[in-house]
Amino acid sequence: MNDIKNISIAWLSTVSSVCTAIESKTVITIISAVVLPIIFFAAGKAVDVCLQVHFRRRQEALVRSGEIRRAGRST
């Protein structure tokens, strides 16, 4: 649901540029007004997912190293 909300906000924020592109009647401006928000959304989502994976792996590594240290001290 969050993704739908985010893409909706991205599309709504570009309504004025889409309308301007339609009035100018050049293909490149219409394509850029439609495609650029999709590209920016996808790039932002990719960065978000990569950061989540990185932080999860980092947390798991810290937990594992903490368990190894605790196991070494108890024997």
| CA pair distance 73, 66, nearest whole angstrom | 11
What pTM was computed for the model? 0.59
Query: Which pLDDT value is given to residue 72?
Result: 63
Q: How confident is the model at residue 1 (pLDDT cuts 50, 70, 90)?
A: low
When the pLDDT of each residue in the chain is averaged and rounded to a whole number, the result is 80
Q: Given CA atoms 49, 50, 56, 57 in this order, what sign does their dihedral have? A: positive
Domain assignment of residue 48, given as a range: 2-74
Number of domains in the chain: 1
| Token pair of 29 as six digits | 């401006």
